[in-house]
Structure 1
Amino acid sequence: MEPHIIHLKTSAGKGGELSVIDEGQLPFQVKRSYWIYNLKEDAQRGGHVHLNSDRILVCLQGEAQVKLRNRQGEEWNFTLNDPGKVLYFPQQFWIDMTCMQGSIMMALTSCSYAEDKLETDWDKFCSL
């Protein structure tokens, strides 16, 4: 499966907006979630690949430019700036991300931290 945007159910009221992820809406069962915040201007994140876990990336606030690559060097580029649109990408996709200052990013993963393996060397990843 290729990386793609998933559009969440979103409703707006006079007090704000609400986006929801219902059971069965994601291509995997969420086993772990974490968020990144207090990001500095043009913060560089990623520079690695998760070998065993699929991911959902949500920009809760601000904006992030996300570049994903597979071993063959094919690239997918996304701009995340709407909490109602989340990015799905499967395991074995290298991620590089640039976030605006003040952005808040949340990730949902298909496996626990202990089950996942991380590679930070592009050449080593390509040779696996």
Structure 2
Amino acid sequence: MDRVKELSVTTIEDGRGELSVFESMKSVPFEIKRVYYIKGMQAGISRGFHAHRKLSQMLICIQGSCRVLTDDAFTKKEVTLSSNSKGLLIKNMVWREMHDFSQDCILMVLASELYDSEDYICDYNCFLNEASPASLTMSL
């Protein structure tokens, strides 16, 4: 699946601790327009359950762990994020679900676009329809 990719995060360690670096168009392959994080998840709660028409994201678990399921309508991929030295790049038109948040999980998200409710596809069947080869060809 070329629309989802694990990336290394530049992390510098010395006697004072760790410094992780995120640079637009370098370590993050898009211009960062929005940053947010998810924390304090209750046991058994999942998040996501949507795709984006235009927006790309990079997910980094800066503390704890969570499981991310991605689906580009052709291939499903599951990744466990448990290190702040790895990020998960999720391009547009990929369904995403986040599960199994550890109690201490902090999931940071770098986004390529500002928030736009029209960019979200929250119904899986609508996503499959929009992501089908015929739909993608017609929209070109």
TM-score (norm 1): 0.90
The question of whether the paired residues in 1 share the 8 Å contact of 2:50 and 2:97 is answered with: yes
CA RMSD of aligned residues (A): 1.5
Change (3 A) 1:42 1:115: closer
- Partner of 1:43: helix, strand, or coil? coil
Instruction: Show the counterpart of 2:5.
Output: 4
Please say which structure displays the higher CA radius of gyration.
Answer: 2
**Structure 2 residue ranges without an equivalent (≥5):** 131-140
Task: Give the Å deviation of 1:101.
Answer: 1.6
- Aligned partner of 1:61: which letter? Q
Q: Percent identity?
A: 28
- Partner of 1:42: helix, strand, or coil? coil
The structure carrying a bigger helix percent of its residues is: 2
Task: Give the Å deviation of 1:115.
Answer: 7.5
Higher relative contact order (CA 8 A, sep 6+): 1
The count of aligned residue pairs is 127
**What are the within-5 Å matches in structure 2 for residues 84-103 of structure 1?**
84-98=85-99, 99-103=101-105
Structure 1 residues 11-36: Cα deviation after superposition (integer angstroms, max 9, x where no partner): 22233222112342221111111111
Instruction: Show the counterpart of 1:111.
Output: 113
TM-score (norm 2): 0.83
Structure 1 residues 25-67: Cα deviation after superposition (integer angstroms, max 9, x where no partner): 2211111111111112233011111111000001011101001
Instruction: Show the counterpart of 1:54.
Output: 56
Following TM superposition, where does structure 1 have runs of at least 4 consecutive aligned residues deviating by more than 6 angstroms? none
